């Protein structure tokens, strides 16, 4: 495996995520919203100080910082090793690259702002979905691709040699 071309994937994801967050921070103030498609899609600036869907916000700031820091490092090492392993199939590497780039984007947010910048805001009828960002989207797509490959790929049975 040539590593440099593969490293462009998580680097591109990271650049898109950080660029989109810089753009929205220059455009909106916290809580401010701009209509993109009335009744469906809005840009709404928010800061998620918790975990997924705003969970764990009840923890003290220091506890969240330690928890998210340790979890982020563990995830980075685990997924990074899989991503860089020679035997990792290309489809897995694409999935892992999306996950890594997104995780790095949200991790950098936590380091710089102690919160994750969210701004993609969708409404479906009477249901208002949680506000999220590009990093969250890349992570979700990476996880779905990884799970689909695991479910759909044929199992490779170990070869037993007879003497």
143 band by pLDDT with thresholds 50, 70 and 90 = very high
pLDDT tens-place string over residues 77-135: 888 898 988 888 888 999 999 999 999 999 999 889 988 999 999 999 899 988 999 99
State how far the Cα of 136 lies from the Cα of 108, in Å rounded to an integer. Answer: 13
pLDDT tens-place string over residues 45-79: 999 886 666 666 656 666 667 777 788 888 888 88
Q: Which of 92, 109, 121, 136 is catalytic?
A: 136
pLDDT score at 59: 63
pLDDT score at 159: 43
Report CA torsion sign: 147, 43, 106, 115. negative
pLDDT at residue 144 is higher than 70 = yes
Query: Stretch 26-39: mean pLDDT, rounded?
Result: 96
pTM of the model: 0.84
- For the question of residue 92 being annotated catalytic, the response is no
Give every CB contact of residue 72 below 8 A, 6+ residues apart in sequence.
Answer: 103, 107, 110
pLDDT score at 158: 42
pLDDT score at 70: 83
Q: Which of 17, 92, 109, 118 is catalytic?
A: 118
State how far the Cα of 84 lies from the Cα of 102, in Å rounded to an integer. Answer: 17
Locate 42 and state its tokens. Answer: 């809005």
pLDDT at residue 157 is higher than 50 = no
- For the question of residue 61 being annotated catalytic, the response is no
């Amino acid at each position: 495996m040539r590593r440099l071309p593969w490293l462009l994937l998580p680097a591109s994801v990271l650049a898109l995520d950080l660029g989109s967050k810089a753009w929205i921070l220059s455009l909106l103030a916290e809580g401010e919203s701009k209509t993109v498609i009335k009744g469906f899609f809005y840009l709404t600036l928010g800061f998620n100080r918790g975990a997924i869907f705003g969970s764990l916000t009840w923890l003290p700031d220091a506890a969240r910082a330690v928890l998210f820091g340790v979890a982020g490092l563990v995830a980075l090492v685990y997924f990074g090793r899989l991503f860089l392993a020679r035997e990792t199939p290309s489809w897995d590497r694409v999935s892992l690259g999306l996950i890594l780039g997104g995780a790095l984007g949200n991790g950098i947010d936590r380091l710089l702002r102690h919160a994750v910048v969210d701004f993609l805001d969708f409404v479906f009828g009477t249901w208002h979905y949680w506000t999220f960002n590009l990093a969250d989207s890349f992570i979700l797509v990476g996880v779905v691709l990884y799970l689909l490959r695991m479910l759909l790929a044929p199992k490779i049975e170990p070869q037993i040699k007879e003497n």
